[in-house]
Chain A
Amino acid sequence: MIRQPISTRLAILLGILSVVALLMGYTLLSYVQHLDNPDDTTIPTWSQLGEGVQRLLEANPRTGERWLLLDAEATATRLFLGLFYGIVGAIILGLLMGCYAPVEALLVPPLSLLAKIPPTAALAVFFVLVGTDTEMYVAMIAFGVLPSLAQSVYLAVHDVPREMLYKAYTLGASQMELIWNIIVRAVYPRLIDSVRLQIGPAMVYLIAAEMVLGDVGFGYRIRLQMRLLNMNVVYPYLAILAVFGFGMDYCLRLLQRVTCPWFIRHGR
């Protein structure tokens, strides 16, 4: 039968098993690759990976910098700034579009078009318009995230039932109060959901741009070390990115659970 539940213990066990299978699969892959070429570095063994991790943690003898800290600082700054502007802009635009028909008619067509353009392909545009420093990354992430997020906000605002708005008017709400106290609060959990979905793409744009333009950051380091065939540095970086993405997602879900105890998820 479909959707027949299983015990929590079994679910956890299966989850652990699949991760273990993944790790074992990798070990097998590495083993096979090393049979073919014992000196291979492109699918590193676990000990090679350990060396790689060491390399990115310890201070470079020539420059004194630790790769991981340097790259993390650069990439994280760019990501958070970009997300910040993107999210704030999207909320404002989405609210305006959802509440005022003229704004909706004006902005929905261009935003739907912009949302379909892969920002990685439009990299040259950002580069030309904004330059090459942090501002470019921030602009690229913000513009990559803003159109779809603004659309999500706009749709969520549209989904607020009319009755609630009329009710608020009869309770003495002004326009501003309607937007801030009613609409924003009603769409807040869906906003968090939409932001969660944008984190992945934002990271993709950022890493892709860093690969081309950066001289510091995760994307830069990965590209460089990949060319030098030091996959034992690249894979730990990838793992860190995955963990980070997972962590952000988890934090947002937690935020939603804590601040919106009233939000019902269908199908639970």
Chain B
Amino acid sequence: MKARMFKNTMIVAAVAVVLTVPAFWTVARADEVPAFSLAWSEYPSWSAFGVAHEFGFINGREGEMGPIEKKWGVDIVLKEADYDTCLVMYGSGKCDAVCITNMDALIPSLTRKSVGILPTSTSFGADACIVVGDITDIKQLRGKKVYGLAKTVSEYCFVRNVEILGEKESDYRFTNMDPAAAALAMQQKRDGFDAIVVWNPFVLETLNKRKDARVLFDSTSIPGEIIDMVVMTQESLDKPGGEKFAWAVIDAFYTINREMAKPETRDETLIALGEKFSNLNLDSMRKVVKQTRFYATPDEGVTVLGREATAGIMEKVVAFCVSHEIVPEAPAVGFGSREEAEEAAFRLDPTYIKGFVAKSK
């Protein structure tokens, strides 16, 4: 009897210890360096963060810090996933910052106040409508199925070009399909795949693999309208260390851009960028980074996040999202610091780049 009671007490004590240890552990860790997460997916300008980890400038693993993180006193945690998953992670609060397009950023910003802290690139030919056969004019696409991922930048690029060419969107049938699948179908010369709207690397791959394929129109007609950027939640910025995280991320991005500018490290960086992106060779990767125009310097970054350059663009983007039921209502878009754009659901704020530049001097 006594032995059983003793055994029971020991068991209870052991369980209590096991349950409380994590609590002690987290308390002890609280005075350590704050950690923030950045979700990214494979895309030329976003892969810069993966390359920064590979080259050792930052350490994407939680609890480990590279030189840039130590400099700013913050731990960057990288989370790689495919684009849709990154979006959902950000929208449900599972990461602090995400690599996202200006268009898709509107979706989570309705429920989570978001701030665009760093523009990484813009599509300048990286999104294209590819046609085959004897199609030379957009009017020939009337009534035909044009395949691309619906409710994304592909559709935006298509619809905007239709507008620019003076046509009516209702005359055209944009049909949903994954760009990888659509590109494969066109490369396989399948019936019915005469026109696709895809992004890189599928644009270059299709043009390479099929000799009669050509670009009907692309995002060069809408320069600067599709902006790839890093967006962070206001909530995370407000946490202690949030600003430092923004600066660190910006630092990492421009560091890689510097490596790309230096002739001795350029090729190596390009290859690293292209490794998981596609099976395009070095030459094609050089084309890729021309079509995805990197905003390689802080000056460019600050300009893009400014009202002058981008307010009109954001209006068009918001209008598209509302009319195509991507968002249930138009989110308020603002420019500038928090005080300047208090009410904005989605705010483009150059102060963090400015802050980074100031503190780096």
Listed in ascending order, the chain A residues whose CB lies under 8 Å from chain B are 33, 36-37, 39-43, 62, 124, 127-128, 131-132, 212-215, 220, 223-224, 226-229
Q: Select A227's contact among B93, B151, B177, B190, beta carbons within 8 Å.
A: B151
B150/A132 in contact, CB under 8 A = no
Residues of B within 8 A of A41 (CB): 91, 111
Residue of B nearest to A131 (CB): B190
Query: B residues touching A (Cβ–Cβ < 8 Å)?
Result: 84, 87-88, 91-93, 104, 107-108, 110-112, 150-151, 175-178, 180-181, 184-185, 188, 190, 235, 325-327
Q: Are B93 and A127 in contact (CB under 8 A)?
A: no
Report Cα–Cα, A128/B88, bound state, in Å: 30
Closest to A62 in B: B325
A-B contact pairs, 18 of them (CB 8 A): A33-B92, A37-B111, A37-B235, A39-B112, A40-B92, A40-B112, A43-B92, A62-B325, A132-B181, A132-B190, A212-B180, A214-B176, A220-B176, A224-B176, A227-B84, A228-B151, A229-B87, A229-B88
Q: Is the CB of B93 within 8 A of A40?
A: yes
Task: Provide the bound-state CA to CA distance between A39 and B111, in Å.
Answer: 5
Instruction: Evaluate contact between A229 and B181: CB separation under 8 angstroms.
Output: no
Tell me if A229 and B184 are in contact (CB < 8 A).
no
B113 to chain A, nearest CB (A): 9
The chain B residue with its CB closest to the CB of A216 is B176
Known contacts A127-B181, A128-B188, A229-B108; A42/B151 CB under 8 A: no
Query: How many Å from the CB of B36 to the closest CB on chain A?
Result: 16
The closest CB in chain B to the CB of A128 belongs to B188
- Shortest CB–CB separation between residue B153 and chain A, in angstroms? 12
CA A234 – CA B218 in complex, angstroms? Answer: 33
Which of A33, A124, A224 is the one whose CB lies under 8 Å from B151? A224
Inter-chain CA distance A62–B88, complex, in Å, is 27
Collect the chain B residues with CB atoms within 8 Å of residue A213's CB.
177-178, 181
Shortest Cβ gap from A190 to chain B (Å): 38
A227-B176 CB under 8 A given contacts A33-B92, A36-B93: no
Q: Roughly how many angstroms separate A83 CA and B210 CA in the complex, as a whole number?
A: 36
Beyond contacts A213-B178, A226-B88, A227-B88: 17 other A-B pairs, Cβ-Cβ < 8 A, are A33-B92, A36-B93, A37-B112, A39-B110, A40-B92, A40-B112, A42-B92, A43-B92, A131-B190, A212-B178, A212-B180, A215-B177, A220-B176, A223-B84, A227-B87, A227-B107, A228-B151
Cα distance A128–B193 in the bound complex, in angstroms = 13
A237 to B169, CA, bound (A): 30
CB distance from A251 to the nearest CB of B (A): 32
> When A40-B92, A40-B111, A215-B175 are in contact, do A228 and B326 touch as well, CB less than 8 Å?
yes
Shortest C-beta distance, B249 to chain A (Å), equals: 22
How far in angstroms is the closest Cβ of chain A from B91? 4
Contacts of A229 in B (CB 8 A): 87-88, 91-92, 107-108, 111
Q: Which residues of A contact B84 (CB under 8 A)?
A: 223, 226-227
Residues of B close to A223: CB separation below 8 A: 84
Q: Is the CB of A124 within 8 A of B107?
A: no
**Cβ-closest chain B residue relative to A39:** B111
Q: Which residues of A contact B111 (CB under 8 A)?
A: 37, 39-41, 229
* Residue in A36, A40, A43, A127 whose beta carbon sits within 8 Å of that of B184 in the complex: A127
Q: Are B92 and A215 in contact (CB under 8 A)?
A: no
Contacts of A214 in B (CB 8 A): 176
Task: Report Cα–Cα, A227/B105, bound state, in Å.
Answer: 11
- Complex Cα distance A227/B85, Å? 8
CB-CB under 8 A from A132, the residues of chain B are: 177, 181, 185, 190
Known: A127-B181, A229-B107. A215 touches B176 (CB 8 A): yes
